[in-house]
Structure 1
Amino acid sequence: MVSEQDPRVRRWGAVCEAVALLLGPYAEVVLHDPDTDRVLAIWNPLTARAPGDPSALGDLDRLDPSGRDVYGPYEKLLADGRRLSSVSAVLREDDERPSAVLCVNLDRTPLERAAAVLSAFGAPTTPRPEPLFEQDWSQRIAHAIGAHVRASGRPVERFTRADRLTVLRELEQARVFTVRRAAPVVAEALRVSRSTVYGLLTELRR
């Protein structure tokens, strides 16, 4: 919805349209007349506003001069409850007189929905059913090492000797090493040699 008769719209319209195309359909771009406090043009309107409608901008002289003519992002609410993140910029003529005010209003609804989905996926899980895993010794190895990575904040490549002993102690208590092929799998998962695993096990059992 554009009024192309005004020279300010012809001057700034391409910029406004570019921003609307980049952020659309979730952002409305509005060009205001600070002298008449009316909408000059609007791209991708989020409400029923149209050129000529009141802008309700207020007095530009009361704005903080340290803002350097760009203000925001600040929050706005629509009547239907949608939250907007908004930025306003005062566009000036060569003589520094305010020519127009450009406002970009971004609808936060898609972002909030995406955040809700991610939060749901990241929610705490229930304890795993141990009877299903008690015979899965390879899963026990992965779980023990992965849990220690998270607890220590160190990747496997940076495990200390004490870290490896802690993991092996847990696996020994879970009787993982009664499985004949377990030690090579543990060595590979810990990124060490089999002899290192056997040596640490001997120390633990001693």
Structure 2
Amino acid sequence: MSKEDPRVRTWSPVCEAVAALLGPYAEVVLHDAVTDRVLAIWNPMTQRGPGDESLLGELGDLAGRDVHGPYEKLLADGRRLSSVSAVLRDADGDAAAVLCVNLDRSTLDQAAALLSRFGAPATERPEPLFEQDWTERVHHVVGTFVRTRGRPVERLGREDRLAVLAELDEAGVFSMRRAVPVVADVLKVSRSTVYALLAEIRTSRSDS
């Protein structure tokens, strides 16, 4: 880089800071907006260097807006880049330099692919593995109910609790010893509340 150029001296600290923050995944390039040449480059991803052509025609009319992007670019090896360019103006408002930051998306793409695999749709639950674990059934029933309603257990209303307790009762959960304390803990209510609602459910069934 030509540190003799006043534009490089002015903007070098900014470019170095961005390169230090995003390196080694980002290339920072300072272009001459007048001669369309590279002034300086940090963390280069290609063989180009100071004095090489910038080919800034891709940014269009520099007299318009000063920030362009993010936009996508491709390297010859197939890597995708997310790029953003900023027009740096002199005291008269004329474009003096263009600062470009090219972020290599390879690592991000790999991370996104990994996360998407973790988020793959679940297959049907193998019930034989869970039929003896009634506490697991409690969590499964309540968790499914909460997801369907779209609100946490603390915000379930009285009718919601009646519905989920009825489902648990039909599943035979309350035939198990110490079921009421476990259900009360999961629903974040008192044991007396569970007993009262359960009695109401069973009374309603016997009357119907």
The normalised TM-score by structure 1 is 0.91
* 1:145 and 2:142 aligned: yes
Contact 1:91–1:99 under 8 Å retained in 2: yes
Q: For residue 120 of structure 1, what is the aligned residue in structure 2?
A: 117
Q: What is the Cα deviation at residue 85 of structure 1?
A: 1.3
* 1:168 and 2:193 aligned: no
Q: For residue 80 of structure 2, what is the aligned residue in structure 1?
A: 83
Q: What is the Cα deviation at residue 64 of structure 1?
A: 6.0
In 2: Cα distance, 1:184 partner to 1:156 partner: 16
Gap change, CA 1:204 and 1:64, over 3 Å in 2 = farther
Q: What is the Cα deviation at residue 182 of structure 1?
A: 0.6
Contact 2:36–2:55 under 8 Å retained in 1: yes
Q: What is the Cα deviation at residue 152 of structure 1?
A: 0.3
Q: What is the Cα deviation at residue 115 of structure 1?
A: 1.0
Gap change, CA 1:53 and 1:85, over 3 Å in 2 = same
Q: For residue 133 of structure 1, what is the aligned residue in structure 2?
A: 130
- Structure 1 residues 42-51 or 76-85, which shifts more? 76-85
Q: For residue 181 of structure 2, what is the aligned residue in structure 1?
A: 184
Q: What is the Cα deviation at residue 61 of structure 1?
A: 7.5
TM superposition outliers: structure 1 runs of 4+ over 3 Å: none
Contact 1:71–1:87 under 8 Å retained in 2: yes
RMSD of aligned C-alpha atoms?
1.7
Q: What is the Cα deviation at residue 25 of structure 1?
A: 0.6
Gap change, CA 1:64 and 1:109, over 3 Å in 2 = farther
Contact 2:134–2:173 under 8 Å retained in 1: yes
Q: For residue 101 of structure 2, what is the aligned residue in structure 1?
A: 104
Structure 2 counterpart SS, 1:58 = helix
Q: For residue 53 of structure 1, what is the aligned residue in structure 2?
A: 52
In 1: Cα distance, 2:63 partner to 2:164 partner: 60
Q: What is the Cα deviation at residue 140 of structure 1?
A: 0.9
Structure 1: 5+ residue runs without aligned partners? none
* 1:202 and 2:206 aligned: no
Q: For residue 14 of structure 1, what is the aligned residue in structure 2?
A: 13
Q: What is the Cα deviation at residue 48 of structure 1?
A: 1.1
Q: What is the Cα deviation at residue 59 of structure 1?
A: 8.5
Structure 1 counterpart SS, 2:56 = coil
Counterpart residue identity of residue 73, structure 2 = K
Q: What is the Cα deviation at residue 176 of structure 1?
A: 1.0
- Structure 1 residues 55-64 or 182-191, which shifts more? 55-64
Contact 1:34–1:60 under 8 Å retained in 2: no
The normalised TM-score by structure 2 is 0.91
| Residue in structure 1 matching 2:151, options 151, 154, 168 | 154
Gap change, CA 1:54 and 1:182, over 3 Å in 2 = same
Structure 2 counterpart SS, 1:168 = helix
| Residue in structure 1 matching 2:190, options 190, 193, 196 | 193
Q: What is the Cα deviation at residue 95 of structure 1?
A: 2.2
Equivalent pairs counted in the alignment come to 203
Q: What is the Cα deviation at residue 98 of structure 1?
A: 2.1
In 1: Cα distance, 2:189 partner to 2:98 partner: 65
